[in-house]
Structure 1
Amino acid sequence: MPGSHALIRLGQRASQVLRKVWFASPSPHPDERLSVSLKLIACTVLVLFTAGCGPAVISDSAQFSQAPATIAPTPSPTTPSSEPVVMVSTQIVSTASASVPVSEPVAVIEAMPIPTPAGPPFSYHVIEEGENLSYISWLYDTPLEELVALNQLAGPDAIIQTGQSLRIPLRLEDTSPRHMLLPDSEVVYSPAYVGFNLQEFIESKGGYLVGYTEYVDGQILTGAEIVERVAQQFSVGPRLLLALLEHYGGWVTNPYPTAEAINRMLGPQNPRGSSLYLALGWTANRINAGYYGYKRDGFWVFSLADRQRVVTPEGLNAGTVGVQNILALHSNQETWTKELEPDGLLADYRALFGDPLAHSIEPLVPKSLVQPPLSLPWAKGKGFYITSGPHPAYADGSAWAAIDFGPPDVLGNCYYSAEPNTAAADGVIVVARHGAVELDLDGDGNIQTGWVLQYLHVVLDADRPVQVGQRVKAGDIIGYASCEGGLANSSHLHFSRRYNGEWMDAGSPVPMNLSGWVVQPTLAAYEGSLKNGSAVREACECWETEKNLIVNQ
């Protein structure tokens, strides 16, 4: 809707006063924060009669869990509601003079909750040849019964396979700081970024990034284009990426950084330091790992540069966990703590962009969210094979938002398919390049807002390729399955969803539903099935009609 973003902004500004107080106290105790909030409200009411109400101050301040903590029963296939989900601010507090009448309270929209961990935090062990459960139990000094229960195995004699991953419980006492760093809407490429002119901002700062160019995917990209490309691909907020680039390398404001800052522009542990595109991608992926790992399991284990491990406390927002994770990878315990303080990364962020809460949109993903109706993304009467269940949408750090479909005419090789992949719903094309197409379903042409569908490993139609800004109808041709656009050993369609910039897990809490076929996840990436009534098709790197072929009826 044309006025929706203005209303959202109004709600953001009006809610800032309480939010600033809420995050001002270093104490995590909710009673203390409530007391501060009540004092502010009382102070506002008495502003005409007393003095001394001062402004509140905001408190400034690897990879282990991968699978869902618990698998909830997937609901039976139903026709999702077609009504749009409207995002509004969860709190509106008047900031006008006390003489202005207070408006009616606005109903609070609950955010999608962080799951409660089903047990202690865990890491993973990849089974090697010759290993069995008894050996792994001895190796990690973990009771055999605990391993069986944590991994939902049939029993202590269960058969395990070489290459299989097993959860290993961790016993950690150290926790990360409890204060908020950035809201979720700053960390993901969310509606908070609509209208943010990246090129203009970078040029206004006059740093090294202005003149930077790099050869990426067959073309020369500027520094601004590289940041935008990574933000789109990983769905990570460009303001956060720029703040990190300034924090570690000074690239945003310094026109003449040192040689070390040029070669290690995104931190000392970044293995892709010589390339801005690759270094930004690695950084975005590690931010996503913390963000979505925490959202999936209800906890995250940080692996610091000195090999120490620290677990999240309760009550953090996912965006803060994502930022903590990327900083942890470059720090030991002492330097990490300093990085999370007011004069750490947040000082550079504020110097560039001001108050991070000024861009907050809540809830980013409402608890009441439902998926709009989506059809199978190929032509009526045709069948594709489900070759992979839920797995990461983009690189290994993102949510398990994607499932894969193999075309019927290309089996086990990378020839381009002649069977088209089609639009699963009406929408507007917002990305169209070799190997990737993204379809915006709310029709506003912004990749950051509402539902967006991602088609990866697709090549565009040679005669009538879709173009950015083009409106398409459900069933229109998007492209053809191939191996282009990423690592692949067989032509397939990699299909995933985002909502307000956040990758939406294919299994839960809003299961992917395609023409009544609902995703059924498991504890392992790439496994799972699709179910439609009593019909079930299992994900398999095979082409078996009765096992994994799905025909679009």
Structure 2
Amino acid sequence: MFKIILVCLILMLTACGAPPAVDRGENVGAPISAPVQPSIVARPTRTPLPTHDPAHTPTPDPTRDADSHATELYIVQSGDTVAGIAAEYNTTIDDIALTNSLDDLTLLHPGDPLNVPLKLDRVGPATKLIPDAELVNGPSAIGFEVAAFVEQTNGYLKTFSEQVDGVTLSGAQIVERVAQQFSVNPRLLLAVLEFRGGWLSNPAPGVDAQLYPVGYRHAGYQSLYLQLSYAANNLNDGYYGWKYRAQQTVRFIDFSRALIAKGLNAGTVGVQTFLARDRLYEDWLNEIGPEGFGATYEKLFGDPFNYSIELLPPDLTQPVLTLPWAPGEMWYYTGGPHGAWVSGSGWAAIDFIPNDPVLSCWPSDQWALAVAPGQIVRSENGEVVQDLGDDGDERTGWSIFYMHVAGEGRVAVGTRVNTGDPIGHPSCEGGLSTATHLHLARKYNGEWLPAAGPLPMVLDGWKVTGEATEYDGGLVKGNQIRVACECREDGKNGVVR
């Protein structure tokens, strides 16, 4: 089977594009529309992240107890109504107003954060499905060969191929590509593909399963690459949302919600989140029940907890990293913490633009430089990945992700670079980008590390700070403060190395 994906569809899933507006169906009351001027409503203080305590069985991954009196951070979307948001969380408009100290809810605009009281009476199952190491494309995936595994099956995936970015890829290569880009474990992606579409066991799935193999029935997503990308982004969204952004609920296709049970780990919440997005509550319970996804995974790969390892040591520290441009140059901080590869992936990235007179989407004349010594292990489609360890594998230890690096002059795979060596020229290459810029993120053992998280990104002493909303944040160095904005103002977002 051979298919072609248009590039414009691929661009829908790239790293620096703003998240699309969500069609939430019918809600009561006037919809919230985009303002002409920025909102002046004070943003509520974010609920602090709960403390994580270790679980004893069946995996040592950090767990968290549920808080029956908690709130959850919600970012207002275009088309929302306050009544609709209240209904989604089984709360009231008055409680939302009181919790956020807002006298006039009509002043809300898309992008505003709300702390929404949780009064849900549904709680999901407390059964762990996978360890964290089986969601992340990290050390536990080393030695697993996707192509060899697929070759042993007799399903549709074995003979499938389609074009991605103008290159024909086999089904196994598409799984590998999504696993690399999103840093999601390929075993998990294969299990999703079999559970929802039967692509590993059935040589001739039905038309619906061929078009929508992970179950996301949406116009423009009739593609294995886009379907797996959707799955990977939602798996990441649950994993990182629970671990770093205090996510306490899963949302269903009818926009109702259920509380996440106490005692779970991030990997399990990632799976629960993905499976919930296009199912009703009752169907979701079946999919995460004893005969559901877990049974499919175990049939393919055995007990997932046999692959459990510690991803982030408690004493982990960041190596010394520099700003990615030459000393004496000023670049501009244009994007605060946001998704490293689409919004679900940990808000691990930040953006800079060089100080060129006119950029638009032309490659910059200035060089993006290596922030640390290491080996280049990936260099394609605007992406450059640098392993800071000695094994040449981005799935172990520290790695740096540079995005939107132009093909001309881009550093080659296998090159060993020192701090300050050229990586390439910032551009718009490799995804949706409205202007030339450099997108920078970190991973450790395959896990995206939030740029403003517990171990914040620090570049030449500039520490990244974040806010409740994606792309907002600052840089702090001593008494110097810079604020991310789509502007070029020396005293506001200009940074000199």
Shorter-normalised TM-score: what interval? 0.7 to 0.9
Matched, 1:502 2:450: no
By how many angstroms is 1:342 displaced?
2.2
The answer for unaligned runs of 5 or more in structure 2 is 1-21, 25-44
**1:518 partner letter:** K
The 1:242/1:441 distance shift into structure 2, 3 A limit, reads: same
1:20 is aligned to none
Matched, 1:124 2:75: yes
- In the superposition, the TM-score normalised over structure 2's length comes to 0.82
2:396 is aligned to 449
**2:71 partner letter:** P
**1:401 partner letter:** A
Aligned counterpart in structure 2 of residue 317 of structure 1, from 265, 275, 292: 265
By how many angstroms is 1:273 displaced?
4.7
Query: How many aligned positions are there?
Result: 447
- In the superposition, the TM-score normalised over structure 1's length comes to 0.74
SS at match of 1:403: strand
Q: Find the aligned partners of 1:422 and 1:159 in 2 and give their Cα distance.
A: 47
Matched, 1:220 2:181: no
Q: Deviations over 1:312-368 (max 9, x none)?
A: 12221000001111111232222211111221112221121111111111x211222
SS at match of 1:385: strand
Aligned counterpart in structure 2 of residue 188 of structure 1, from 116, 124, 136: 136
Q: Find the aligned partners of 1:428 and 1:530 in 2 and give their Cα distance.
A: 27
Aligned counterpart in structure 1 of residue 206 of structure 2, from 258, 274, 279: 258
- Whether contact under 8 Å (1:403, 1:494) holds in the other structure is yes
2:39 is aligned to none
By how many angstroms is 1:212 displaced?
1.1
Aligned counterpart in structure 2 of residue 526 of structure 1, from 467, 471, 476: 471
- Whether contact under 8 Å (1:63, 1:289) holds in the other structure is no
Correspondence 1:259-278 to 2 at 5 A:
259-267=207-215, 269=217, 273-278=221-226
Matched, 1:480 2:433: no
The 1:262/1:482 distance shift into structure 2, 3 A limit, reads: same
1:378 is aligned to 325
SS at match of 2:163: strand
Greater shift in the superposed pair: 257-266 or 495-504: 257-266
Matched, 1:164 2:111: yes
Q: Deviations over 1:486-532 (max 9, x none)?
A: 11111111111111111111112001000100012122221111111
By how many angstroms is 1:412 displaced?
5.8
Q: Find the aligned partners of 2:105 and 2:496 in 1 and give their Cα distance.
A: 35
The answer for unaligned runs of 5 or more in structure 1 is 1-61, 73-89, 93-109, 149-154
Q: Deviations over 1:462-498 (max 9, x none)?
A: 3xx3222221111111111111111111111111111
SS at match of 2:377: strand
Q: Find the aligned partners of 2:466 and 2:474 in 1 and give their Cα distance.
A: 7
By how many angstroms is 1:380 displaced?
1.9
Q: Find the aligned partners of 2:288 and 2:63 in 1 and give their Cα distance.
A: 24
2:38 is aligned to none
Matched, 1:434 2:381: yes
- Whether contact under 8 Å (2:111, 2:469) holds in the other structure is no
Q: Find the aligned partners of 2:104 and 2:422 in 1 and give their Cα distance.
A: 50
Matched, 1:142 2:142: no
By how many angstroms is 1:252 displaced?
1.4
By how many angstroms is 1:125 displaced?
2.6
**1:448 partner letter:** R
1:198 is aligned to 146
Aligned counterpart in structure 2 of residue 69 of structure 1, from 26, 37, 47: 47
The 1:314/1:297 distance shift into structure 2, 3 A limit, reads: farther
The 1:143/1:308 distance shift into structure 2, 3 A limit, reads: closer
Q: Find the aligned partners of 1:368 and 1:411 in 2 and give their Cα distance.
A: 44
**1:468 partner letter:** V
**2:372 partner letter:** A
**2:428 partner letter:** C
1:469 is aligned to 414
Q: In angstroms, what is the RMSD of aligned CA positions?
A: 3.3
1:406 is aligned to 353
By how many angstroms is 1:112 displaced?
6.5
Q: Find the aligned partners of 1:320 and 1:410 in 2 and give their Cα distance.
A: 48
Aligned counterpart in structure 2 of residue 541 of structure 1, from 472, 486, 493: 486
The 1:510/1:115 distance shift into structure 2, 3 A limit, reads: farther
**2:438 partner letter:** L
Aligned counterpart in structure 2 of residue 243 of structure 1, from 191, 195, 210: 191
- Whether contact under 8 Å (1:271, 1:279) holds in the other structure is no
2:339 is aligned to 392
**2:448 partner letter:** W
2:7 is aligned to none
2:370 is aligned to 423
1:53 is aligned to none
- Whether contact under 8 Å (1:132, 1:160) holds in the other structure is no
Q: Find the aligned partners of 2:61 and 2:133 in 1 and give their Cα distance.
A: 12
**1:246 partner letter:** E
Aligned counterpart in structure 1 of residue 311 of structure 2, from 361, 364, 377: 364
The 1:143/1:227 distance shift into structure 2, 3 A limit, reads: closer
SS at match of 2:475: strand
Greater shift in the superposed pair: 514-523 or 162-171: 162-171
- Whether contact under 8 Å (1:71, 1:521) holds in the other structure is no
By how many angstroms is 1:447 displaced?
1.6
1:279 is aligned to 227
Correspondence 1:20-39 to 2 at 5 A:
none
